[in-house]
Amino acid sequence: GAGVSQSPSNKVTEKGKDVELRCDPISGHTALYWYRQRLGQGLEFLIYFQGNSAPDKSGLPSDRFSAERTGESVSTLTIQRTQQEDSAVYLCASSPASGVYNEQFFGPGTRLTVL
């Protein structure tokens, strides 16, 4: 079946512009995660959605970052007034639920370059 999809695959923007990154999780997966991976680094957790519960935003690095999720489907990560340090691959993952037994399925990521 279809996996997690993300769009765009690549995004180049100028410093100060806003960007929106999209994630389509696997159908039926109630949990959705956003991570960031800077060049040569491990993944950093950003935000997590689980059903109708309040999202865990503890990983968002600043108030320029926000994310929304429509029900249990698509999610959008928005970065306002982009800075060069925002350049990274942004990865989305979904899982059937948030329980410890459930693996996370990752999308291919969106590579963001801020000039």
Partner 1 sequence: DAKTTQPPSMDCAEGRAANLPCNHSTISGNEYVYWYRQIHSQGPQYIIHGLKNNETNEMASLIITEDRKSSTLILPHATLRDTAVYYCIVRVYSGNTGKLIFGQGTTLQVKP
Question: Under rule CB under 8 A, which residues in 14-33 are in contact with partner 1?
Answer: 31, 33
Q: Contact with partner 1 (CB under 8 A): which of 8, 10, 16, 45?
A: 45
Q: Contact with partner 1 (CB under 8 A): which of 26, 43, 64, 80?
A: 43
Residue 59 engages partner 1 in binding (rule: CB under 8 A)? yes
Closest C-alpha to 107, from 92, 95, 89 = 92
Cβ-based neighbour number of residue 69 at 10 Å: 20
Residue 42 engages partner 1 in binding (rule: CB under 8 A)? yes
Query: E strands of 1-115, at which residues?
Result: 5-7, 10-13, 19-24, 31-37, 43-50, 65-69, 75-79, 88-95, 105-106, 110-114
Note whether 6 and 111 are within 8 A (CB): no
Residue 106 engages partner 1 in binding (rule: CB under 8 A)? yes
Residue 56 engages partner 1 in binding (rule: CB under 8 A)? yes
Binding site for partner 1 (CB under 8 A): 4, 31, 33, 35, 41-45, 48, 50, 53-54, 56, 58-59, 91, 93, 95, 98-100, 102-109
